[in-house]
């Protein structure tokens, strides 16, 4: 359960912005989220934007980290780290790292994207095996997708009830289509005040964890930052919510509705 919620936070919580002409983020941006399961503060997650180079190409290096805290960690301990290196100009991923420990379930995966050969090599360090995948247009990893979408869609182009589709690779399951349906605008009460948001619904697999295919909802700030404000998920047992709990280094002013 915690694994899916952390993946949801790192991937599904994104905003939309016009391509490259008006970037929604910058180096130094830091976001913190607090997750609640019932009355428990189940875990925290952070996203930090850094800069570096890969093969002399300037890239963003984003580190996402999530872990359970307090009483929740007594029942199920999570310590997950995700990293993505992607091109500053077009958002193409060069490298993706996934190191997780979720109640003793561990993974240590690195994916390197080679656009000259149109191949991606997945190195499963835990199981000592390597897999190769043929790259497709607009491929993204779990983290780069968040930032790619912030810079590549216009709010005015979104249609209520229509879904955005993105090709993704982040595990040995291979490349798949991720879909996100736009539901319109909404006002969310936060610790900072009221925030106008764009509401989305990721389409997930129903069954063991989620009640229905459309059991996830997320709200993204309707300003130039396009940062995730809230995620709610109805689970097979109970519900979980993640709220923005801290931020720093935003490129644009965070808009709060003043009563």
d(CA 63, CA 81): 7
Q: What per-residue confidence (pLDDT) applies to 210?
A: 36
Q: What per-residue confidence (pLDDT) applies to 17?
A: 39
The per-type count for the chain, helices as H runs and strands as E runs, is 3, 14
Measure CA 242 to chain center: 12
d(CA 105, CA 121): 23
Q: What per-residue confidence (pLDDT) applies to 41?
A: 65
For residue 165, count other CB atoms closer than 10 A to its CB.
11
**HSE of 104, CA atoms in CB hemisphere, 13 A:** 3
In 6-158, the DSSP E strands lie at 30-37, 40-54, 57-68, 78-87, 93-102, 105-114, 119-124, 129-134
Mean per-residue pLDDT pooled into runs of 10, the chain (259 residues): 48 40 89 81 88 96 88 71 96 96 90 96 97 93 90 86 90 87 95 96 53 70 94 73 95 92
* Residues comprising the chain, all counted: 259
Q: What per-residue confidence (pLDDT) applies to 53?
A: 97
Q: Do 205 and 212 touch, CB atoms closer than 8 A?
A: no
């Amino acid at each position: 359960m915690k694994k899916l919620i952390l993946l949801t936070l790192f991937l599904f919580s994104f905003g939309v912005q016009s391509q490259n002409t008006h970037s929604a983020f910058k180096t130094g941006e830091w976001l913190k989220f607090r997750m609640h399961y019932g009355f428990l503060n189940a875990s925290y997650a952070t996203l930090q934007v850094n800069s570096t180079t890969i093969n002399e190409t300037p890239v963003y290096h984003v580190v996402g980290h999530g872990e359970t805290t307090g009483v929740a960690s007594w029942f199920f301990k999570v310590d997950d780290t995700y990293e993505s290196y992607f091109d500053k100009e077009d958002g193409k991923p060069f490298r993706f790292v996934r190191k997780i420990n979720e109640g003793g379930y561990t993974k240590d995966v690195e994916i390197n994207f080679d656009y000259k050969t149109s191949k991606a090599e997945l190195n499963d360090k835990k199981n000592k095996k390597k897999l190769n995948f043929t790259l497709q247009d607009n491929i993204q990893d779990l983290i780069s997708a968040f930032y790619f979408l912030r810079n590549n869609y216009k709010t005015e182009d979104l249609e209520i009830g229509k879904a955005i589709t993105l090709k993704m690779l982040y595990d040995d399951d291979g490349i798949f289509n991720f879909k996100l349906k736009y539901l319109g605008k909404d006002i969310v009460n936060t610790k900072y005040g009221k925030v106008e948001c764009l509401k989305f619904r990721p389409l997930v697999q129903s069954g063991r964890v989620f009640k229905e295919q459309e059991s996830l909802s997320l709200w993204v700030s309707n300003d130039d930052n396009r940062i995730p404000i809230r995620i709610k998920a109805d689970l097979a047992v109970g519900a979980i919510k993640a709220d923005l709990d801290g931020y720093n280094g935003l490129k644009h002013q965070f808009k709060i509705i003043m009563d």
